[in-house]
Structures are given as C-alpha cells and as structure tokens.
A and B are shown apart, each in its own frame.
Chain A
C-alpha cells in the first residue's frame, strides 16, 4: 500500500466524517466549521489529483469567502440553534434515505463490482516533422517523398535545403516509406522506412543525415527521433543532442564566462578512494573537466537522453571525450521551458577546386527549439485555456458575478415603500393634533389652519 493510497484513505475518511458532522450538528456554526474541514480535505485531494490551482482556489473561495459569508449570516440572524422541531413530513426521512441509497448504489455498484472500465487515453499517431541534415556535395536541396501508412497520397516536401526543418504533420500509426532525391530527381539514398506507433511515438523528428560520398560509398540515412515535449520545471530547459556527424562522441559543456574548457589533471581514484597505479607502480593521471557537462557524451548517429539543464544564455560548446572543443556555441540561448534539439550535422565545404570536405555544424533552425506547454493543472496552463478557448464563458461568468452583486444589494435594501406609508400615516395622526392645539391656543395658528385639509373626524 503506497503512501498516496494511505493519504487518500485518511483524507477521504476525514472528509466523510466532516460531512456527516455537518449534517448531524444541532448548531449551525458547528455545521459551517465542519464544512470548512470538509472543503480543506477536498482541497488536499485536488493537490493529489494534479490540480494545484484548483486546490488553492478551493481554499481561497470556498473555505475563505463562501464559508465566511455563511458564518456571517448565521451570526447576523442569530440562527445557531437548528433543532428540527416540526413534526411535519416525518415520512420524508425514510423516503429520502431510500432514494439516496438507491442512487448511490446505482452508480457505485458498477464501479465496485468492476463493471466500469475507464480506458486510458492512447495518443493516436504522432506529430512528425522532417529535418534535412545530410551532407550532400554542393549543398544541394532535396525533395522528400513520404508514402505508405495511412497516407492516401504521398506527402511531398520539395526544395528542402541543408538544415531546413519542416512543420509538424499528423501521421497515423503505420510504416512509412521515404524517398529522398535531389531537386534534379537523382536519388540520394536508398529508399528508407520509418515506423510511427500509437502512444509511444507522440512527437518525433524524422531526420535525414549522414554523408553522400560516392568515393567512400556512404549514403545518407533516415531515422526517427522521438521527442516527448513534456513540461519542464520553471527556469530550466531540456536539451537533446543528435550526433549526425559521426565520430567523435559529443557532449554539451557550459564553458562559463571565460569561454575556455577548464581541465585539470589529477590522479585516478578507484571506487575505494585509493589512487590507481599502472603496471610500473606509477599513479595513473586522468584529465577531468571543471566545467559542467550538461548533456552526456553521445556516440555517432545516436540521440542522447533528454537532459534538463538550467536555462539562460551562456558560452556552451560541444566537446569530445578528450575535452577538445568540436563546435563552440557562444551566446547560445537555452530558453526556459523549451525543448532544444541540437543536431550536429556534416556541412559541405569546398575551398577552391577539388573535392570539398565536411565539417561539423550545428543546425540553427529556430523550429528546433519548441516552447513547452505549462505543467498540467498549473495556474499558467489553466489561464492559457481560460483566456483562449473559454474567453466568452469567462466574460459571461464575470457578468453573472456582477449581476449577483447588484441582486444582493437590491434584496437586502431596506423596504423604503413601507417607510413612506408610515410617514403618511403619522401625518394623518398629527393633523387632528394641530387642530386641537390651534383651537386651544387660538389666535394666529387658527388663521393658518384653513391651509391644511380639514380632518375627517374631529372628535
């Protein structure tokens, strides 16, 4: 039994106890306090359900605002004692219990007996994009033709230059054939295949890489690099390296402000902390790097494991296992909450006449770094949904709150009409009084008396 299950059972039991306490309490203030406890338990359950924003709103709005309003009204009215003294509707108790029990069992019985199977969502197909990272003499553009799978007609990406990244395409699960040709129609590589699977692939980059070299008989290859694009923590970025250049193995190091690799020679230590000695009894010296290695060394034509690194702009470098800088990446920005795919590809260079040669280069297409969505259930993600897809409902709910505010003011306003009537009645009563006073004092007051309407009854 896991810790979370124990926590759930404890909170669920507590919530039900609070609910029963609220129902059975004779004092309305105790009922309100029990309900606050119930809401607090449910708020913690929201935290367990990956809904931290809803949990916090539950505390602030329900336990904070609404229940304070309840307590305020209870104390304002002085209606704490809620003993049900009426003898009417006694039959309702049994009827309500039967109704509630049958409703409860109708929904819970299938769940408990296992009749309800909640299917887990499986992502259908994958988002796939295509990257041209193959070294082709004279940097020729290529046409990429994808067919097979669920495609009714082939997907043709024409005129892809070296380093180009296509938009994402939604592909169903299946096996696809890819054909890469130069824009002249000459084949660059043998027909290749890649496979998209439901649920496991998600999002992927299909990359054409390798050198086209007739002399050495090497042709580009095609590979599918799965990427997950799940959210990262704040102030961090995720980096993957695909080493499409070949040897040597490459790692990503953060060189820091001095922009050079800081290495240090020291004696090798075995796992017991003892110095390692060679056959001649001399201590073995190894070289270590002081700069942090953000992405571990990645061999030829392999994709590194995703590494979560601190975001920011710094002097990074791709280093080989002897800590030589293969490709400096000065002023390189690893933007926060982005997933960066660093592709090291052979770039064809030609100096003067004669055959050219390849040197490693890092593809700089901005689409290779993708902004990741905010974590599920976080305030940022909910705000994003509320203010894009649900902007109209948000405004309607805001209007509703405004109408409720006005309604409350109208409902609780003192009854002014009744007061007016009371004033009129008092004047009617006072008229005979003035006439009585005027008749008793006489004189000038009786002169003013005819201005007033004469009272009906003068006795």
Chain B
C-alpha cells in the first residue's frame, strides 16, 4: 500500500509534539501550562495511534484514540478542579511552591 504521505512522517511529527510537550511539563512552573503540555503529549500519542491505524488498516487504533480522548476529558476536569482548590488555598499556581509532601 502506497500512501502519498508515509506513516513515518506522521510518527516523526508525533514525536516532535510529544517531546515539546514533555519539555513543557519539565520546564514550566505554572500548573495550568504544565497541564496543557500534558494534553499536547496525549494528542501526539493519538496522532501516532491514528497513523498506525491507517498503516495496518485496523480500526482498533482509532477506537483507542476515542478512549484516550474520553480519559483526557475526565482528567482535565478533575485536574482543573484540583488547581482551583489549590489556588484557593495558596493563591498561586506555581508548582514549585507546592512542596508540602517533600520528605
């Protein structure tokens, strides 16, 4: 099967987006930005899923993307509620300020 855009190109793009998201998680201090970076990593994984689903002509890849999106929606709702609760207590969304649990 010959695709006009090879699957490898989509995988490389997916990796670029994933690594950018991972750097966002590691380098940014704002909890909301960190959360957005996590969403971008999930999205990059979804892109790889869909690319492989086309490569193998298997629908399971797209079905898993559907599940990942559902879980991401639930995760965002809970995560943002946590951020709101923390902000109410500490008046900040800086994750470096949250170190009550350090040993």
| Given contact pairs A53-B62, A66-B76, A70-B32, A15 touches B57 in the complex (Cβ within 8 A) | no
CB <8 Å contact, B71 and A96: no
CB <8 Å contact, A390 and B63: yes
CB <8 Å contact, A42 and B43: yes
Which of B24, B46, B51, B81 touches A407 (beta carbons < 8 Å)?
A: B81
Which of B7, B27, B93 touches A118 (beta carbons < 8 Å)?
A: B7
CB <8 Å contact, A51 and B54: yes
CB <8 Å contact, B60 and A12: no
Alpha-carbon gap, A77 to B87, bound state (A): 7
Q: How far is the CB of B62 from chain A (nearest CB, A)?
A: 5
Alpha-carbon gap, A58 to B26, bound state (A): 25
| Proximity bits, A367-385, B CB within 8 Å = 1, else 0 | 0000000001100011001
CB <8 Å contact, B59 and A404: no
Residues of B within 8 A of A377 (CB): 53, 59, 62
Jot down 8 A-B pairs with beta carbons below 8 A, ordered by A: A22-B37, A28-B30, A50-B54, A51-B54, A73-B80, A82-B33, A93-B27, A382-B62
Which of A42, A108, A397 touches B67 (beta carbons < 8 Å)?
A: A397
| Residue B101 CB within 8 A of the other chain | no
Residues of A within 8 A of B11 (CB): 111
Across the interface, name the chain B residue whose C-beta is closest to A397.
B70
Chain B residues packing against A (C-beta within 8 Å): 1, 4-5, 7-13, 15-17, 19-24, 26-30, 32-33, 35-37, 39-40, 43, 46-47, 50-51, 53-57, 59-60, 62-63, 65-67, 69-78, 80-85, 87, 93-94, 96-97
Which of B26, B50, B55 touches A92 (beta carbons < 8 Å)?
A: B26
| Residue A449 CB within 8 A of the other chain | no
Residues of B within 8 A of A99 (CB): 26
Additional A-B contact list (14), CB under 8 Å, known A39-B43, A58-B43: A16-B20, A22-B24, A22-B33, A23-B27, A35-B36, A45-B47, A46-B47, A54-B46, A54-B66, A66-B39, A74-B32, A376-B59, A386-B63, A397-B70
| Given contact pairs A49-B51, A86-B96, A412 touches B85 in the complex (Cβ within 8 A) | yes
Which of A93, A405, A411 touches B82 (beta carbons < 8 Å)?
A: A411
CB <8 Å contact, A23 and B37: yes
| Residue A4 CB within 8 A of the other chain | yes
Across the interface, name the chain B residue whose C-beta is closest to A396.
B67
Q: Is the interface of B mostly helix, strand, loop or mixed?
A: helix
Residues of B within 8 A of A108 (CB): 12, 15
Alpha-carbon gap, A22 to B24, bound state (A): 9
Give the A interface residue count (CB, 8 A): 79
Alpha-carbon gap, A42 to B44, bound state (A): 9
CB <8 Å contact, A382 and B66: yes
Alpha-carbon gap, A46 to B21, bound state (A): 19
Q: Is the interface of A mostly helix, strand, loop or mixed?
A: helix
Alpha-carbon gap, A84 to B46, bound state (A): 30
Which of A32, A96, A97, A405 touches B77 (beta carbons < 8 Å)?
A: A405
CB <8 Å contact, B16 and A54: no
Residues of B within 8 A of A112 (CB): 12
CB <8 Å contact, A61 and B43: no
Residues of A within 8 A of B65 (CB): 51, 54
Alpha-carbon gap, A405 to B93, bound state (A): 22
Alpha-carbon gap, A359 to B39, bound state (A): 68
Q: How far is the CB of A58 from chain B (nearest CB, A)?
A: 7
CB <8 Å contact, B32 and A79: yes
Alpha-carbon gap, A86 to B98, bound state (A): 13
Alpha-carbon gap, A15 to B14, bound state (A): 10
Which of B10, B24, B40, B84 touches A45 (beta carbons < 8 Å)?
A: B10
Q: How far is the CB of A274 from chain B (nearest CB, A)?
A: 44
CB <8 Å contact, A411 and B93: no
CB <8 Å contact, B29 and A84: yes
Alpha-carbon gap, A386 to B53, bound state (A): 15
Across the interface, name the chain A residue whose C-beta is closest to B17.
A19
CB <8 Å contact, B78 and A8: no
| Given contact pairs A38-B40, A104-B19, A54 touches B29 in the complex (Cβ within 8 A) | no
| Residue A2 CB within 8 A of the other chain | yes
| Given contact pairs A385-B63, A404-B74, A84 touches B28 in the complex (Cβ within 8 A) | yes
Across the interface, name the chain B residue whose C-beta is closest to A16.
B16
A window 53-91: CB within 8 A of B: 53-54, 57-58, 61-62, 65-66, 69-70, 73-74, 76-77, 79, 82, 84, 86, 88-89
Residues of B within 8 A of A12 (CB): 9, 13
Q: How far is the CB of A124 from chain B (nearest CB, A)?
A: 14
Residues of B within 8 A of A183 (CB): none
| Given contact pairs A42-B43, A412-B84, A412-B85, A31 touches B36 in the complex (Cβ within 8 A) | yes
Residues of A within 8 A of B29 (CB): 82, 84, 86
CB <8 Å contact, A28 and B8: no
Q: How far is the CB of A114 from chain B (nearest CB, A)?
A: 9
Alpha-carbon gap, A89 to B7, bound state (A): 38
Alpha-carbon gap, A74 to B42, bound state (A): 21
Residues of B within 8 A of A121 (CB): 1, 55-57
Alpha-carbon gap, A407 to B79, bound state (A): 10
CB <8 Å contact, A103 and B22: yes
Across the interface, name the chain A residue whose C-beta is closest to B70.
A397
